[in-house]
Structure 1
């Protein structure tokens, strides 16, 4: 029993000794209290200051930042709506947001917090600088909507997992920025990745891009742009054949007549692969000859219509001539019956004239 007790105690001491030491980061970009809390995540929080030793580390971190323009920083000190200010308490009714405790050995306030129970108030750390470091520090309350620099505390090591990228590539990590990676593909393409708060890598400038495909080779005739998308190769930009006195080349061969249909068609491009689709125009390439019947049938129909029209015209003319001959014969017969042969001669003379 004593053996197991000693073993448990030794294990506990090993765990305690190996716990990572807390670290602090000073952020000079101004945020509201809630935004500052979010920026400290994941793996961190707005710092608490439970004792003088922690205060000393924080003040040293502020001084090492080498920026004397910022004098007030959000820390994880807050009084929620419905909680009243308590002048008799060291933290005046405020609590550390990380664990809702009120413990602190350093409770110097510049002024008494605003005595209210109906408004939320948040805590600032005010500092003054000297020649060799921070000379003084005090607490001050303010409305949580105001924007100030802030101090984060981390006691665990948080890193994004290694980016999962297909294809040959190199990953370059900046020594002072664990949340950024530079990706250099074998093709020479470069991309910058940023680690989000959810520990997910995204391409800077194109957050929706699938990073796993960044270094995959595109199909023939395509290349990757700066966002990692496969786009059609622009020959004029790639080899500059359009500069100088050379005429600009096109992706289509000259227009040739189709011997079967008589139509002019565009032949397939000889320089681009079959799987390249032309994006800039709606030109469709006619690849097969037209059906001969498409010409013969309309021609036959037109010829038949022409013949029918000729027959109709001929019938009309013939009918008119027949009617005229009939009328003439009738007039001659009437003239002979009434006036005899002399009248007939007159009729004939009239017709001759």
Structure 2
């Protein structure tokens, strides 16, 4: 009998030691009692303090917050309208909202609750700060509409269900932390996930990331960063794909034909030889190169034809321009000659008219007839 009693006792102690430890979160933003309750859901609730050990843990959490301005915090302590003050109970007629319990080893009230049954009342934890720790002043009752900081207690029996992640992956659970897991994707990407107070898996450092998409492949030219987002891959820095200048683009890259040429070169690599026009001219004039066309790249032979065309165009322009200039000079000379001839004719006509007038004035009509006869001859 003693053996079985000892065995049961050992089993109970093992179970007690292995129970998950509660965790607390202190929020300094001020809310009403009911709003604070909603803020703690779904994975937490306004803290109850049934044991002295939990009080010590809460005070340590408050001290670690490193803020000495807040001295009153909502906890899950409430008395309904119609319930009266009970001096004989540890909570004086109040109860813990999480389980409606009225028991507590903590028998501290800073002031006795009011002896009334006519209104809803809520409880605060009052603290003060020393040199090295926060200490408890006790519980304080007040109206539930007031706004105060609050303390949420994590429900140790409620955890996130296993992450639902698309794509090929492995999930590694941490044996000492049920709220954390490690995801290894087939692409090689790795992520650490945390179970939030809302019972949702989030990427460590990025609570807004949809974890179901983490192991899906990004579009070509992109890959996932540590936060889970698809970001552009800088091929120019990683793989050095270009012979000369490499220009990284969104999801791809471009190769420039030379350091001073920003035009896009076809293909993933630029032309094997970047020849200037002078180089092409040298190729055209070099008999040894022309006698071995197969040793030249295709792009060089193609560009060689382009150079011949450019040179032939240059020869035609050298002929046309002098012809046009000569034609313009000829037209100008014709205009000048025509003007000279016209001037001479005009002067002669004027001279003859003056002679006729002089003859009429000196000799009369006979002289005029003679002048006319001279003109006819």
Calculate the TM-score normalised by the size of structure 2: 0.48
Structure 1 15/114 Cα, relative in aligned 2: closer, same or farther at 3 Å? Answer: same
1:69-80 map, 5 Å: 69-80=69-80
Return the offset for 1:206.
5.2
SS, match of residue 93 in structure 2: coil
Q: Which residue of 2 aligns with 1:96?
A: 96
Return the offset for 1:137.
1.5
Deviations 1:225-271 (A, max 9, x none): 77968899997324453998534799xxxxxxxxxxxxxxxxxxxxx
Q: Which residue of 2 aligns with 1:18?
A: 15
Distance in 2 separating the partners of 1:230 and 1:239: 14
Name stretches of at least 5 consecutive residues in structure 1 with no aligned partner: 251-353
Q: Which moved more, 1:138-147 or 1:235-244?
A: 235-244
The answer as to 2:164 corresponding to 1:167 is no
Q: Identify the structure with the greater helix proportion.
A: 2
Distance in 1 separating the partners of 2:231 and 2:130: 58
Return the offset for 1:11.
3.2
Return the offset for 1:124.
0.7
Contact 1:22 1:154 (8 Å CA) reproduced: no
Distance in 1 separating the partners of 2:127 and 2:121: 19
Structure 1 248/149 Cα, relative in aligned 2: closer, same or farther at 3 Å? Answer: farther
Distance in 2 separating the partners of 1:51 and 1:139: 14
Return the offset for 1:123.
0.7
Distance in 2 separating the partners of 1:184 and 1:39: 32
Q: Which residue of 2 aligns with 1:199?
A: 199
Cα RMSD, aligned residues only: 4.7
1:164-313 map, 5 Å: 164-165=164-165, 166-167=167-168, 179=179, 187=187, 193-197=193-197, 199-202=199-202, 204=206, 209=210, 211-218=211-218, 221=220, 223=222, 236-241=249-254, 246-247=262-263
Matched residue pairs, number?
A: 243
Q: Which residue of 2 aligns with 1:311?
A: none
Larger radius of gyration, structure 1 or 2? 2
Contact 2:74 2:125 (8 Å CA) reproduced: yes
Q: Which residue of 1 aligns with 2:26?
A: 27
Distance in 2 separating the partners of 1:83 and 1:153: 26
SS, match of residue 58 in structure 2: helix
SS, match of residue 15 in structure 1: helix
Contact 2:26 2:61 (8 Å CA) reproduced: no
